[in-house]
Structure 1
Amino acid sequence: MVDATAVPPDRGGVGRYVDELLPALLAEGADLAVVVQAHDLSHYRALLPGVDLLAAPAAAARPAVRFAWEQTGLPALVRRSGADVLHSPHYTMPLAVGVPVVTTLHDATFFTHPDVHLTVKRTFFRTWTRVSLRRARRCVTPSAATRDELVRVAGARADRIDVAHLGVDPRRFHVPTDAERAAVREHLGLSGRYVAFLGTLEPRKNAAALVRGWVRAVAGTDDPPALVLAGGRGWDDEIEHAAAEVPAELTLLRPGYLPLDLLSGLLGDAELVAYPSSGEGFGLPVLEAMACGAPVLTTRRLSLPEVGGDAVAYTEPDHAAIATALRELLGSPGRRAELGAAARKRAAQFDWRACAQAHLRSYASAAGS
C-alpha cells in the first residue's frame, strides 16, 4: 500500500514524485493499493486504472488533521487491505501499523541548511526524519548524496537506506515543438530571449541571488534577456527586496505555478535554465530542464552534481559568481548548444522505470527482513 495523502494540490515536489512513481510501479507488475485524499480520487482513477483506491476523510486535506489521521485512521486501512508493506513517501509514518514500513526521506537540508527553513518546519522534519530512520524497516532517498548526509548528520545507518534516483518522462519533458514554445510565450506575454528558473521561491532555491546576478550580468547590454521565475510562492522575503532593485529597463516575470503542459516550452525555449540552489535532495527541475535540451547552470551543492554530471555548467551560489557564469554562457551560443546536447543525453539515463524497480527492491527487502 502507498499512502499518497501528503501529495499537495499543485503536484510539485512530492506530488510529482508520487504521480510518476505509482504508474511506473503498476507497469512493473506491483500489486498496489493507494490511499488518497478525497479530492484526488478522480485524478488517481484516471492515472491508475484498476487500482484499489482508498480515500482518507475529507478533513484530512488539512495538514494537521492528515498527520493525526496518519497515526490513527491509516493503520486501520492498512490492516483491512491485507497489505504486506506500507510505503510512506514523505518523511512521516504511522508508528503502530502492524506491517513493515518504507519511508522516503527527500533531503537532508533540514539538518545541513537549517537557516533556509522555517523554524517549525525544520523542527518537525528533523524529528520525523530521525523517527523514520529508527522505526521504518527501510528508508529511500533520491540520491546517494542525501543518503550520505543523513549518515553524517542524523546518525542513519547506510545499510538501511536505499537510493532510488528520480526519473524524467520524455513524453512530458522533451525538446519543445514550435507550438509548445508559442504557447508558453503567449502565457507569459514574452517575445524576446529569457533565462528561466523553475522551483518554489524559498530561501534554499537562492532565487534572490539569481535575480541580483542576472541584473549584474545583463544590465547595460544590448537586448538583455528577461528573467522568468516560475514556481509557487514560498516564504522568501529576500526575493521581494531583490525584485525591487531590478532596473526599469529589465524584465523580471514571476508567473507563479505553471501547468505541466507548459513546462517543456518554458525550459526548452530558454536561453538557459538557472538553478543556483544552495542544496537539494535531488534537483528534479535540473533533470527536467536537461531533458528539454536546455543548457543548465546550477551549483555543486549536495545532490546536484549527481544529477548534472558533466552535462551542466556550475557556479558558486553568491550573486557575483552567478553574474559571471551567466555572462559567460549568454555570450557563448556554442557552449550553450554543447551543454544542451550533453544534457539530453545524460537525462536519458534517469527514468521512472528504474526508480520503480529500486522501490520494489526496497519493498521486498522490508517484507523479507
Structure 2
Amino acid sequence: MTAAPRSERLRVLIDATAIPPDLGGVGRYVAELCPALARAGVDVVVVAQARDVEALGRADGVEVLAAPGRIASRAARLAWEQVGLPGVVRSVGADVLHSPHYTMPARVDAARVVTLHDATFFSAPEVHSRVKQAFFTTATRLAVARADALVVPSHATQEQVLAHVRGDARRFVVAHHGVDTARFHPVPEAERARVARSLGLEGRPYVAFLGTLEPRKNVPALVRAWVGAVEGTDPAPALVLAGGPGWDREVDPAVAAVPAGLRLVRPGYLPYEDLAGYLAGAALVAYPSLGEGFGLPVLEAMACGAAVLTSRELSLPEVGGDAVAYAGTDEASLRVALRSLLADPDRRADLARRAVERAALFTWDAAAAAHVTAFEAAVRRRRER
C-alpha cells in the first residue's frame, strides 16, 4: 500500500473493529468520541466492521473504512489486528493509532494510544469469568508496557491499574466520558407517563435499574434490599430491572423469592427513545455496583434529572460527586438507604436538581480534548524514541 500524504492536522486512525454489534459499551464510546474529535480539529479515520460503517459514518468530518468481512469472530479479529491493521495505518498516513478497547498491534508505523476502560479484572476478578479476566489482565499489562500513551475514563481506573501493573503514570491521561444530552435529558410528565404505561406501571412509583445483569452490578442484593424496604408500604414502589440478561446466576433465585404482593418488572432492553422517560420517571434510580471504570449509567440518569442511589466503589464518586446518594453494597445498607430515600420526596427532588447541574460538566468535547492531549503526547514519545 502507498502511504497517503500527511496533512498539517493530527491524523488519527481509530480501530473500531472490536465494538459489539449493538454499538453498546465501547461502541457508544467510539460513536460519541469520533465527531467530538473532528470538532476538535483532528483528522479522524475509523476502521470498522462492515455492519458498523453506516452508523459510525454519519458524523461530519469522520471517514469510515470497512475492515475485511472475514474478521467477524474474535480470534480472526485479533489476528487481523496484528497483521492487517498496520497496513491500514500506513495506507491512511496516520500519525496515531488509537486502539479503544485494550488490545493493539505489536508493531505499527504510528504512535500507539490504548484505552483501558476498567481495572476490576485485577481488583475484583471474582465478578468476571476466568477467561475474560485472564484475557483483559494480559491485554492491560501489554498495553501499559508498550503503548505510547494510555487513556482511562477515571482517576480510580488509573490508580487501580498502577496498583496492579508496573507502569509510568506520566503516560496516562484521564478522559471522563461525556453524556449525550440529545438522548439523556429531563423530559415532560407526558413522556414519563408514556414509558410507565409501556412497562405496565401507569400511576405506580418504581425504582429503576439500567444495565446488564452481570455479577458486579450487584442486582441480587438490590432485589432483596428493595423487598425489605417497600414491604408494608402502600402503594409499594415496583422494581424495574432493565437491560441485557447477563450472566449473573443469582438474579433468578432472588427474583423468584420476591413476595407475591410486590411488583418486579424485567423488560429486557428498552428502546433508546424510552430511556430518558424511564430514568426521569423513576422515583429513584438504583445502581449499587461493586465497581466501575467510569459509571456511564449513573451519569445518564443524572442528566435525565433522576434521583440516584449508587455505591462509593472505585470511580462512582468521581461521577456522582455530591449530586447522588450513596450506600454500601451489602443488602442491609441498601435497604436502609432505599427506605430513607423513598420516604423523602424533598431529598429526592434536591438530588434530581443537583444531578442535572453536575451532569452538564461531563461533555464529549471535554473528553475529546483529553484524548488530543494523549495523542500529542504519544507522537512526542514516539519521535523521542
Same fold (TM over 0.5): yes
Question: Which residue of structure 1 aligns with residue 130 of structure 2?
Answer: 119
Asked if 1:60 corresponds to 2:71, the answer is yes
Asked if 1:93 corresponds to 2:104, the answer is yes
Aligned partner of 2:86 among 75, 81, 88: 75
Question: Which residue of structure 2 aligns with residue 216 of structure 1?
Answer: 228
Aligned partner of 1:344 among 356, 369, 372: 356
User: Which digits, 9 at most, give the CA deviation of each residue in 1:331-367, with x for residues without a partner?
Assistant: 0000100111111111111111000000011111111
Question: Which residue of structure 2 aligns with residue 252 of structure 1?
Answer: 264
Asked if 1:281 corresponds to 2:293, the answer is yes
Question: Which residue of structure 1 aligns with residue 6 of structure 2?
Answer: none
User: Which digits, 9 at most, give the CA deviation of each residue in 1:120-159, with x for residues without a partner?
Assistant: 0000000000000011100000001110111112223211
Inter-CA distance 217–32: structure 2 relative to 1 (3 Å threshold): same
The offset of 1:184, in angstroms, is: 2.0
Say which is worse superposed, 158-167 or 92-101, in terms of deviation. Answer: 92-101
In structure 2, how many angstroms separate the alpha carbons of the residues matched to 1:12 and 1:51?
Answer: 20
Consecutive unaligned residues in structure 1, runs of 5 or more: none
What are the within-5 Å matches in structure 2 for residues 201-350 of structure 1? 201-350=213-362
In structure 1, how many angstroms separate the alpha carbons of the residues matched to 2:360 and 2:61?
Answer: 29
Question: Which residue of structure 2 aligns with residue 188 of structure 1?
Answer: 199
SS in 1 for 2:117: coil
In angstroms, what is the RMSD of aligned CA positions? 1.2
User: Which digits, 9 at most, give the CA deviation of each residue in 1:302-322, with x for residues without a partner?
Assistant: 000111111110000011111
The offset of 1:100, in angstroms, is: 1.1
The offset of 1:45, in angstroms, is: 2.4
Question: Which residue of structure 2 aligns with residue 130 of structure 1?
Answer: 141
In structure 2, how many angstroms separate the alpha carbons of the residues matched to 1:73 and 1:256?
Answer: 37
In structure 1, how many angstroms separate the alpha carbons of the residues matched to 2:279 and 2:17?
Answer: 29
Moved over 4 A (4+): none
Question: Which residue of structure 1 aligns with residue 95 of structure 2?
Answer: 84
Note if contact 2:193-2:281 (Cα within 8 Å) is conserved in structure 1.
Answer: no
Note if contact 1:230-1:257 (Cα within 8 Å) is conserved in structure 2.
Answer: yes
Note if contact 2:186-2:303 (Cα within 8 Å) is conserved in structure 1.
Answer: yes
SS in 1 for 2:84: helix
Note if contact 1:275-1:299 (Cα within 8 Å) is conserved in structure 2.
Answer: yes
Note if contact 1:39-1:58 (Cα within 8 Å) is conserved in structure 2.
Answer: no
SS in 1 for 2:297: helix
Aligned partner of 1:31 among 43, 51, 58: 43
In structure 2, how many angstroms separate the alpha carbons of the residues matched to 1:213 and 1:283?
Answer: 21
In structure 1, how many angstroms separate the alpha carbons of the residues matched to 2:340 and 2:346?
Answer: 11
Say which is worse superposed, 173-182 or 103-112, in terms of deviation. Answer: 173-182
User: Which digits, 9 at most, give the CA deviation of each residue in 1:187-220, with x for residues without a partner?
Assistant: 3222111111111110011011111111111122
Note if contact 2:21-2:51 (Cα within 8 Å) is conserved in structure 1.
Answer: no
In structure 2, how many angstroms separate the alpha carbons of the residues matched to 1:45 and 1:159?
Answer: 33
Note if contact 2:117-2:293 (Cα within 8 Å) is conserved in structure 1.
Answer: yes
SS in 2 for 1:121: helix
Matched AA of 2:168 = R
In structure 1, how many angstroms separate the alpha carbons of the residues matched to 2:61 and 2:173?
Answer: 29
The offset of 1:27, in angstroms, is: 1.4
Number of residues of Structure 1 aligned to a counterpart in Structure 2? 368
Question: Which residue of structure 1 aligns with residue 14 of structure 2?
Answer: 2
TM-score normalized by structure 2?
0.93
Say which is worse superposed, 48-57 or 107-116, in terms of deviation. Answer: 48-57
Question: Which residue of structure 1 aligns with residue 182 of structure 2?
Answer: 171
SS in 1 for 2:43: coil
Matched AA of 2:303 = A
Question: Which residue of structure 1 aligns with residue 57 of structure 2?
Answer: 45
Asked if 1:354 corresponds to 2:369, the answer is no
In structure 2, how many angstroms separate the alpha carbons of the residues matched to 1:119 and 1:342?
Answer: 40
Percent identity between the aligned chains? 59
Question: Which residue of structure 1 aligns with residue 10 of structure 2?
Answer: none
SS in 2 for 1:12: coil
Note if contact 1:275-1:296 (Cα within 8 Å) is conserved in structure 2.
Answer: yes
Asked if 1:153 corresponds to 2:138, the answer is no
Say which is worse superposed, 154-163 or 320-329, in terms of deviation. Answer: 154-163
In structure 1, how many angstroms separate the alpha carbons of the residues matched to 2:315 and 2:140?
Answer: 18
In structure 1, how many angstroms separate the alpha carbons of the residues matched to 2:197 and 2:236?
Answer: 19
Note if contact 2:212-2:243 (Cα within 8 Å) is conserved in structure 1.
Answer: yes
Note if contact 1:33-1:53 (Cα within 8 Å) is conserved in structure 2.
Answer: yes
User: Which digits, 9 at most, give the CA deviation of each residue in 1:211-255, with x for residues without a partner?
Assistant: 111111112221111111111121100111111111112111121
SS in 2 for 1:329: helix
The offset of 1:65, in angstroms, is: 1.7
The offset of 1:177, in angstroms, is: 2.4
